[in-house]
């Protein structure tokens, strides 16, 4: 049985799923940039063989030029592009890189968190069951759990 990674790898080269391969290529190209620049990239996509990258206004013109030059250097070097690290980008034609600057603040998604770990529930079990287990170790364990439940029920 295949796991999710194997399924995605097997279908990513089909024409109708080329966006998966584009997304992997973009992530691989962005991974060569400095971590401070990576954090300020809002989104990126490939359209008509042009890689479009949107960055936040926190970066300056030098960083913008650095992004373009670094990615173009990788795309123009056949030895680097054909290495094992960039195999996702091998069949994706990228002719140019355009970097846009966005002045809207970058929003970070934070999942909703509950205080579920602080909730306590009233124990409804009474511990009044008959233990019919042949294994002595397992029977002793179940008996100790039953005694704990009975003690908690009796104390409350």
The closest alpha carbon to 55, from 40, 71, 39, 36, belongs to 40
Class of domain 4-102: alpha beta
Tell me the per-residue pLDDT of 97-140, one tens digit each, with 9 for 90 and over.
999 988 887 667 677 666 666 666 676 777 778 888 889 999 99
Which whole-number Å values give the CA distances from 13 to 87, 94, 137, in the listed order?
12, 17, 55
Q: Is the pLDDT of residue 91 over 70?
A: yes
pTM over 0.85: no
Mean pLDDT of all residues in 82-108:
82
**Residue 152 CB neighbours (<10 A):** 12
Sketch the domain layout of the chain as residue ranges: 4-102, 118-155
Query: How high is the pLDDT of residue 117?
Result: 63
| 76: confidence class by pLDDT, cuts 50, 70, 90 | confident
Q: Which residue has the tokens 């003690």?
A: 151
Amino acid 96: pLDDT: 92
Which pair of structure tokens corresponds to residue 85? 């690290």
């Amino acid at each position: 049985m295949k796991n999710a990674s194997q399924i995605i790898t097997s279908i990513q080269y089909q024409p109708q799923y080329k966006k998966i391969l584009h997304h992997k290529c973009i992530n691989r190209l962005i991974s060569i940039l400095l971590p401070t620049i990576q954090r300020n990239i809002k989104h990126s996509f490939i359209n008509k063989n042009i890689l479009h990258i949107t960055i936040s206004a926190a970066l300056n013109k030098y960083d913008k030029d650095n992004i373009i030059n670094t990615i173009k250097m990788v795309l123009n070097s056949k030895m680097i592009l054909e290495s094992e690290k960039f195999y996702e980008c091998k069949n994706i034609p990228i002719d140019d890189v355009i970097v846009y600057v966005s002045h809207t603040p970058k929003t970070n998604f934070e999942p909703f968190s509950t205080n579920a770990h602080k909730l306590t529930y009233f124990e409804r079990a009474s511990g009044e069951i008959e233990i019919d287990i042949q294994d002595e170790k397992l029977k002793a364990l179940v008996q100790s759990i039953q005694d704990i439940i009975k003690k908690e029920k009796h104390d409350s």
